[in-house]
Amino acid sequence: MKRTLMLILPLALMAACSDPSTAPAGRDDLAPAPTAAADQAAVARLDVQRLQGSHWRLDSATDASGKRIDALFARADTPVTLDFKDDRIAISNTCNRMGGGYTLADGSLTISPMASTMMACTDNNLMALDQAVGSRLEGALKTELGDAGQLTLRTAKGDVLVFTPEPTAETRYGGEGETVFLEVAAQTKPCPHPMIRDKQCLQTREIRYDANGIKQGEPGEWENFYDVIEGYTHEDGVRNVVRVKRYKIANPPADASSNAYVLDMVVESANEKK
C-alpha cells in the first residue's frame, strides 16, 4: 500500500507543475504574447515621436492626375511647414498661421477643423494658399512615414503631398530650451572678435514679462550679442522684441558659445530709421 501511494504522489506533483493555474506568482514565461493591437499602438507611438521630432517642409504636391499643385507653392523660398506638438498641428509659411487637433491611428492622420489668424495678405497668391492648404489638410489623410524619412499624405480626392523632415531645435539640442525675450536695437555696432575682422554685433538686452504679459522692471544696458539667432534676420533701423528659445550646447567647440538661440516669434517691431 505504501509503495502505491509513493508512485501516485510524484505523478500528482508533475501534473500540478504542468498546470498554468498552479504556476508560482510572478512568473511571466506563461504570459500571453503581445496582441496585434498592442503592436499597432507601439508603432503609432513611434510614428508620433517621429512627427514631433521634426519640422515637415512641403517638398512636392500632385493631384489625382499627377499634375503639380502650383497653388501650394506660393512661397517658393519658404515651403508650407507642418509642426506637431502634443495633440496639436501647426501650419506655417502660409498667409495666416493655421492649426488644429490631430490623431494618428491605423495609418491615417485625422486633422480637426482648423482655426487661423485673420491677417490679410496683399499678395493674392498667398491668400489663395491658405484655402489650398486648408481644403487638403482637414479630415482623414492616408499617411505613410517612409524609410527615407519622408511623410506622405494622401487626400480622399487623390492629392499626394510629400514632406521632408528637418530636425527641430529640441531634437538637435536634446531638450526643451529656455524661453527668453530679447530687445534688439535698431543699429548694430562694431565689436571685438579675434577671428572676424570688422565684426558687427547686434545690441540686445533681456526683457522680462509676468504671467499676464506685462513688462517687469527696467531693461539693463545694451550689450554686444556675439551669438546668432537662428531664423532671425536683422533689418538696419528696425528695433525688435523677439521671443527666443535658448538651448545649452553640450561640449561646444573651443572658443564657441555654449548657448544656441532659435527665434520663436517677433513680439514687437518699431521702425527707427532716420
88: domain CATH number is 2.40.128.270
Neighbours of 50 (CB within 10 A): 15
- Four-CA torsion 59, 62, 66, 69, nearest 10 degrees: -110
One digit per residue, pLDDT tens: the chain, 274 residues? 444 433 333 434 344 444 444 445 554 555 555 565 555 566 567 788 899 999 999 999 999 999 999 999 998 889 999 999 989 999 999 999 899 999 999 899 999 999 988 887 888 898 899 999 999 998 999 999 987 789 999 999 999 999 999 999 999 998 889 999 999 999 999 998 777 788 899 999 999 998 888 888 888 899 999 999 999 999 999 999 999 999 999 888 877 889 999 999 999 999 987 6
Which phi and psi angles does 203 have, rounded to 5°? Answer: -105, 120
Total structural domains in the chain?
2
Same-domain check for residues 118 and 233? no
Same-domain check for residues 52 and 83? yes
pLDDT in the model for residue 229: 95
Domain closes at, from 167, 195, 225 = 167
Distance (Å, rounded) from C-alpha 246 to C-alpha 235? Answer: 22
pLDDT in the model for residue 198: 84
Angle value at C-alpha 220, between 216 and 225, nearest 5 degrees: 120
**SS3 for 270?**
strand
Which phi and psi angles does 176 have, rounded to 5°? Answer: -75, -30
pLDDT in the model for residue 44: 63
Cα 107 from chain centroid (whole Å) = 20
Same-domain check for residues 52 and 158? yes
pLDDT in the model for residue 30: 52
Same-domain check for residues 60 and 140? yes
Same-domain check for residues 106 and 207? no
Distance (Å, rounded) from C-alpha 204 to C-alpha 220? Answer: 9
**SS3 for 257?**
coil
Q: Is 12 among the domain residues?
A: no
Q: Is 59 among the domain residues?
A: yes
Q: Is 89 among the domain residues?
A: yes
Parallel, antiparallel, or unpaired for β 200-209 and 215-216?
A: antiparallel
pLDDT in the model for residue 39: 55
Q: Is 36 among the domain residues?
A: no
Q: Is 160 among the domain residues?
A: yes
Contact 260, 250 (CB under 8 A): no
Domain closes at, from 167, 202, 233 = 167
Contact 61, 73 (CB under 8 A): yes
Same-domain check for residues 138 and 216? no
Same-domain check for residues 186 and 262? yes
Which residue, 266, 108, 105, 107, is CA-closest to 181?
266
Same-domain check for residues 62 and 153? yes
Domain closes at, from 122, 138, 167 = 167
Q: Is 188 among the domain residues?
A: yes
Distance (Å, rounded) from C-alpha 116 to C-alpha 34? Answer: 42
Same-domain check for residues 161 and 242? no
Parallel, antiparallel, or unpaired for β 98-105 and 81-85?
A: unpaired
Q: Which domain holds residue 134?
A: 42-167
Neighbours of 169 (CB within 10 A): 20
